[in-house]
Structure 1
Amino acid sequence: MRVDKYLWCIRYFKTRSIATKACKEGKVRVNGDLIKPSREVYPMDKISVRKNQINYELIVLDTPDSRLGAKLVDIYRKDVTPEESLQKLDLLKYSKDYYRKKGTGRPTKKDRRDIDDWMEDPKEENTNNQEWD
């Protein structure tokens, strides 16, 4: 099976074209070698995939016939990604929270109405009421 198709089948990439692009950009290695998307993979091959600033490592156990459900992926690959790489993923999540706190930035519609109500002059409200009385 082609390596780009294999990575798509075991759900490392959402589409096969994205998997092909990653292979062409040098983000996928098989047994330590840079490869083309058409490279065949066989059981016991070691694949490294760089995705979202993390280096995933997996061992091919078997090749599936077609794309799998998420629960069946472990039958066809063994994930040997170092724990340190997975901890980087947690750090990335925390760093995103650091740069922008929830509720900051552009005000919502409700916030804008509250600001407008607060900014209105109370004297103007009284004069409007007197005209109608």
Structure 2
Amino acid sequence: MDDPRLDKWLWSVRVFKTRPEATAACRAGKVFIGELEAKPGRDIHVGETVTVRVGVVTRTLKVVGLPKSRVGAKLVPDFMQDLTPPAEYERAKQATLEHMLARDRGQGRPTKKNRREMGRLFGFD
């Protein structure tokens, strides 16, 4: 079987929702194979380590298999092994939380009502 292109592999193992997104990420320098920046048309081989920056998370993936087309979510572990440290996912959760709590510029300090709502959200009351 011919080795697939990198962008096609990233799409088929559900790292990106669409193949053009995977191609754009490769061109933007967000995808590395080993220590080298990878182009979307590069062939990928079993055993290689791929590092992908998706949003605020830097995922580290090991190529275990080469699917012929996009696979279902339950079959993804047959084709890749996720080596991303748990701290990276915690950092993403923290960034999401900070985004939720961010106030628009010029709103000033939270009101008493806002503080009570935040307290209820985090279980301080």
User: Normalized against structure 2, the TM-score is what?
Assistant: 0.77
* Alignment partner, residue 14 of structure 2: 11
In 1, distance between residues paired with 2:79 and 2:32? 18
Q: For residue 29 of structure 1, give the secondary structure of its aligned residue in structure 2.
A: strand
Matches within 5 A, 1:64-75: 64-75=67-78
Pick aligned residue for 1:34 from 24, 37, 62: 37
1:78 pairs with 2:81: yes
1:21 pairs with 2:24: yes
In 2, distance between residues paired with 1:53 and 1:5? 22
In the alignment of these two chains, the number of paired residues is 100
* Alignment partner, residue 59 of structure 1: 62
RMSD value, Cα:
0.9
User: Normalized against structure 1, the TM-score is what?
Assistant: 0.73
Question: Which letter does structure 1 place at the counterpart of 2:8?
Answer: K
Give the greater-gyration-radius structure (CA).
Answer: 1
Q: For residue 76 of structure 2, give the secondary structure of its aligned residue in structure 1.
A: helix
In 2, distance between residues paired with 1:82 and 1:4? 23
Question: Which letter does structure 1 place at the counterpart of 2:24?
Answer: K
| Aligned-residue offset at 1:11 | 0.5
Q: Which moved further from structure 2: 89-98 or 1-10?
A: 89-98
1:25-53 per-residue CA deviation (whole Å, 9 max, x = no partner) reads 10000111101100011100000000111
The one of the two structures with greater contact order (alpha-carbon pairs below 8 A, sep at least 6) is 2
Percent identity over the alignment?
Answer: 36
In 2, distance between residues paired with 1:90 and 1:36? 29
1:72-91 per-residue CA deviation (whole Å, 9 max, x = no partner) reads 10110000001111111110
Question: Which letter does structure 2 place at the counterpart of 1:83?
Answer: P
In 1, distance between residues paired with 2:76 and 2:13? 6
Runs of 5+ unmatched residues, structure 1? 101-133
In 1, distance between residues paired with 2:74 and 2:53? 23
* Alignment partner, residue 90 of structure 2: 87
